[in-house]
Structure 1
Amino acid sequence: MDQRTFLAARADRWFRARPVRLDLLLTALTWLVLGLPGAALAGATGLLVATVTIAPLVLRRRFPVVVLCWSAAAFAGQLLLVPIPLPANAAQAIVVYTVAAHVGSPVVRMLALALAVTGCLAGGLRWSTPPDQTRNALVIGVTLAVCSVLIAVIGELVRGGRANVRELHEARRQRDRLAEQRRRMLAAAEIHDIVAHSLTVVIVQADAGGYAAGTTPSWRPADAGAVLSTIAGTARTALAEVRGVIAMLHEPESAEEPPGVAVHRDDVQRLVDAVRAAGLPVVVTGPPAWFDEVPAAVRLAVFRTVREALTNVLKHAGRDATARLTVERHGDAVRATVEDDGRGPDTTPPPGRGHGLAGLRERLDVLDGVLETGPAPDRGFRVSLTLPGVFGPDPGWLSGVPRDPRGTPDSQPGGGDR
């Protein structure tokens, strides 16, 4: 059964790729099966009429309107020359189907159907025999007309099915183009964030090193080495992250995944260490052990938000600022908060110049994430991210005390609401 289906599918694909050969084969078989009997039924005239009726089927796909007119003329000639129906009249049904299935103009399709119904009624009158000739004419004509309508309906369904398939293919191609465009835009935003953060750390370190070297008498080569080591480490990390983003762009199987390197709890800690090395004190509460168990997209969203917020603190909060990072769980949601006690929101870029947080909001939409930014309660600036539905409903966790996937309370500090 499977083998026959497979062979039928191969034959269907072969003929679809070669429609002219299919029509030639159909015409030859139709003439052999339905045309030759015309000679036995009506002599040479019947064979001639059958041949004239069937031969144009070779061109039925390329010139359906011309073949329709030819078929109508051939049928009119048959009514005049042959007093009986011929098997070759099935060719007219093929023409009606072809026009309904391949002609886009509704006027031409309705004309074909009208000609078919008219021919059926005329044939009923021509071919009916006594007694009760009128009744026989109506029965023959109406029966043939109903068959013609059904054939036209089948052609309409086939044409509509082809149109639907084309629209589906076009929609799929459009979806693929939009998905690829979205991946590239996300990758560009990710690379921008990586480069912006890394250059901020490098600039802060270089400025601090240059300032200390010029103003501090006790400046030593070891201090310069520490600054250069931080700069080199930051650059190497940024290079590895950019390579990870580019590598994911070249992997088709990652089309539904957000571009970026795999992020874990240790990566957040390394980010904090790099910011501390740049001179910004960071007080960390989290992320707890369950952070590595949440989906990769959630971990990446938290990492992006923390990186962008700490970068902004480095840029705008001032030298004496301190940042506080908290990653915790609220019910089935993950919340990450970065708050500083620096100079406050007046020093942040005015609207239209800073794109980091706006870009984060756009990328968080696919996760239903909520990003809240604004002045901190006392002083400074606050960035808070909430990602709902991360853990799914679990009544045992409604108390606010987070637990790892094995069901034991997480012992890490800041693991939940206190």
Structure 2
Amino acid sequence: MRQRTFLAARIDQWSREHPRRLDLALTGLMWLVSGLPSALAGLPAFLVATAAILPLVVRRRFPAAVLLWSAAVFGVQLMVVPIPLPADLAQAVVVYTVAAHVVSLPIRLLALGAALAGSVLAGLRWSTPPEYLVNVFKNAAVLGILSVLVWVIGNLVRGRQANMSALREASARLEESRLHRERFVVQQQRVAAAREIHDIVAHSLTVVIVQADGAEYAAEHAHPWDRGDAGRVFATIGRTARSALTEVRGVIEVLREADADGPDELRGAGLGLAELRQLVDSVRAAGLAVEVEAEPAAFDDVPTAIRFAVLRVVRESLTNVLKHAGPYAAAHVVVARTQGGIMVRVEDDGVGVADAITDHGSKPGYGLDGMRERLRALGGALEAGPRPGGGFVVDAAIPVAVLPPSARPAGSAAAPGGTGRSGKR
């Protein structure tokens, strides 16, 4: 339902949308009200009144020219007509127009000066004896005060219009800034989602590829073919693929939700040692020997975003070990609570990334860059490089602000019965 507005508001809106029509209507009305009655004072008075009123049609487009014309017409009036005319109201309209619509201060001051000079000349022309000088002073003072008031009102209107214009520009800039901010947030969400998809797909496909290559080799060289081993391989492949599909769907759902704040929405609050063990078990199923040292209290009172980042660092690092460390490598994962946060270290004794690239011709992916971006957003840091004794090491440090009891996520404590350490397989 359209909201009703006051008549004055509708008239004001119409006048702003159609200024030329307003000037034409104002000019016609003034000519009918004050131009025609001037004919009672004679033909010269009628002509002067008409000449003073008609230029008001173009007063907004040519205010300075109309001011000069109005001053000239008023001078002619003082010479040929001995009395004031109703059409003299047009002089006040011209002064108001210049004050309200001309930016140049000298021209506005010129309009004020012309109005004051006209007030003095009118007082001299229209005053009568016996107290001629007193009448001159009174008439000039009244006309001068009215002229100053009209000029001041015009300047106030011009200032209001300038303020409104500035407010509209500021509103437009704010709206543009809001749109830029929304686009930036959307872009951040897309980058975060792309990073998540990379982590999920890279890890899952690496496990699938390792299992498939092992099954292919066993099918060609093993005698006899072990159906139990084959079943376990295909079960691992299927489980890994289904898990990856579920996680990718979660990322897509986050992209569809307008209120999603980032990758933390992909997982619940119960991220901890149990999820870390599941991650390690999936890598062990691919044939990589992994030793884990995780303190039982490492994830206590830790925000979900940091828990999520820790698991992502471990997963991406183990995925790189699978891809680059070689067939006989072993990995060592350490997750420990430090004084200021959480420390994560993943190291292996394989051939290293550089040698793997040389041997197999594969190109490094975006996993390390993605981990650095993730940790940088949380105030953490990541270092990665070859170990002095061979292999590769990834070190991550993430600061943690301990949550108050009311804000602690469910499942923050360590899983019951967990030792925090599992031996090599």
Q: Write the distance in 1 (CA, Å) between the matches of 2:147 and 2:342.
A: 75
Alignment equivalent of 1:342, drawn from 327, 338, 350 = 350
In the other structure, the counterpart of 1:269 is 277
The amino acid across from 1:261 in the alignment is L
Shift of residue 20 of structure 1? 5.6
* Identical amino acids, percent of aligned pairs: 34
**Structure 2 unaligned residues grouped into runs of 5+:** 41-45, 79-83, 124-135
2:109 to 87, 104, 117: 117
Give the corresponding residue for 1:386. 397
Give yes or no for contact 1:15–1:21 (8 Å, CA) kept in 2.
Answer: no
* SS of residue in 1 equivalent to 2:401: coil
CA contact (8 A) 1:120 1:144 kept: no
Number of the residue aligned with 1:374: 385
The alpha-carbon distance between structure 1 residues 406 and 303, as it changes in their structure 2 partners (threshold 3 A), is closer
TM-score, normalization by structure 2? 0.72
Q: Is 1:36–1:47's contact at 8 Å kept on the other side of the alignment?
A: no
Question: Are 1:234 and 2:240 counterparts?
Answer: yes
Is contact 1:244-1:261 (8 Å) kept?
yes
Distance 1:126-1:248 versus aligned 2 partners, 3 A rule = same
Partner of 1:257: 262
Higher relative contact order (CA 8 A, sep 6+): 2
With over 3 angstroms needed to count, the CA separation of the structure-2 counterparts of 1:268 and 1:73, relative to structure 1, is farther
Supply the AA of the counterpart residue of 2:289.
P
- Count of residues in correspondence between the two structures: 381
Alignment match, 1:183: 189
Secondary structure of 2:395's counterpart equals strand
Structure 2 vs 1, CA of residues 288 and 25 (structure 1 numbering), >3 Å: closer, same or farther? Answer: farther
Give the equivalent residue in structure 2 for 1:72: 67
Aligned residue runs from structure 1 range 105-254, under 5 A: 109-110=103-104, 113-128=105-120, 129=123, 130-131=136-137, 148-254=154-260
Q: Displacement, 1:408?
A: 9.2
1:227-270, CA deviations, whole angstroms, 9 ceiling, x for partnerless residues? 0111111111111111111111111111x323762152243332
Superposed CA deviations along residues 102-148 of structure 1, whole A, max 9, x for unmatched, are xxxxxxx32xx433321121011112332388888887766665555
The residue matched to 2:337 in structure 1 has which SS? Answer: strand
| Residue segments in structure 1 that go unaligned for 5+ positions in a row | 1-5, 58-63, 101-108, 395-402
Q: Give the C-alpha shift of residue 407 in structure 1.
A: 11
Contact 1:202/1:234 (8 A) holds in 2: yes
Answer with 350-359 or 325-334: which moved more.
Answer: 350-359
| Paired amino acid for 1:360 | M
Where does residue 103 of structure 1 map in the other structure? none
Amino acid at match of 1:123: A
Q: 1:117·1:148 contact (CA, 8 Å) conserved in 2?
A: no
Within the alignment, does 1:310 sit opposite 2:318 as a pair?
Answer: yes
For the 8 Å contact 2:326–2:350, the answer to whether it is kept is yes
CA contact (8 A) 1:38 1:88 kept: no
SS of 1:291 mapped into structure 2: coil
Corresponding residue SS for 1:334: strand
Of residues 182-191 and 20-29 in structure 1, the stretch that sits farther from structure 2 once superposed is 20-29
Matched, 1:358 2:358: no
- 8 Å CA contact 1:35, 1:54 repeated in 2: no
AA of the residue aligned to 2:372: R
How far apart in 2 are the matches of 1:182 and 1:50? 65
Deviation of residue 366 (structure 1)?
2.2
The structure 1 residue matched to 2:287, chosen from 272, 275, 279, is 279
1:34 Cα deviation (Å)? 8.6
> Residues of 2 paired with 1:152 and 1:77: CA distance?
25
Alignment partner, residue 328 of structure 2: 320
Q: Please report how far the alpha carbon of residue 157 of structure 1 lies from its aligned counterpart in structure 2 after TM superposition.
A: 2.7
Change (3 A) 1:268 1:125: same
SS at match of 1:391: coil
What RMSD in Å do the two structures reach over aligned CA positions? 4.4
Q: Deviations over 1:86-107 (max 9, x none)?
A: 288357536654x47xxxxxxx
Return the letter of the residue paired with 2:381: V
Measured in 2, the distance between the counterparts of 1:15 and 1:135 equals 35
Change in CA separation of 1:56 and 1:137 when aligned onto 2, cut-off 3 Å: closer
Q: What is the alpha-carbon distance in structure 2 between the residues aligned to residue 407 and residue 362 of structure 1?
A: 25
Query: CA–CA distance in 1 between the matches of 2:313 and 2:11?
Result: 56
What is the CA-CA distance between 1:326 and the residue it aligns to? 2.4
The SS at the match of 1:86 is helix
Query: Distance between the aligned counterparts of 2:311 and 2:69, measured in 1?
Result: 78
Shift of 1:390: 3.3
Superposed displacement of residue 27, structure 1: 6.3
Q: In structure 1, what residue type is equivalent to 2:63?
A: L
* Partner deviation per Cα, 1:9-37 (whole Å, 9 max, x = no partner): 9x98x899977657589769978999987
The structure-2 alpha-carbon separation of the partners of 1:244 and 1:141, relative to structure 1 and needing over 3 Å to count, comes to same
Alignment deviations for residues 57-80 of structure 1 (CA, whole Å, 9 cap, x no partner): 8xxxxxx6x253575366446634
Q: Secondary structure at the match of 1:386?
A: strand
User: CA separation in 2, counterparts of 1:365 and 1:33?
Assistant: 72
Shift of the 31–18 alpha-carbon distance from structure 1 to 2, 3 Å rule, reads closer
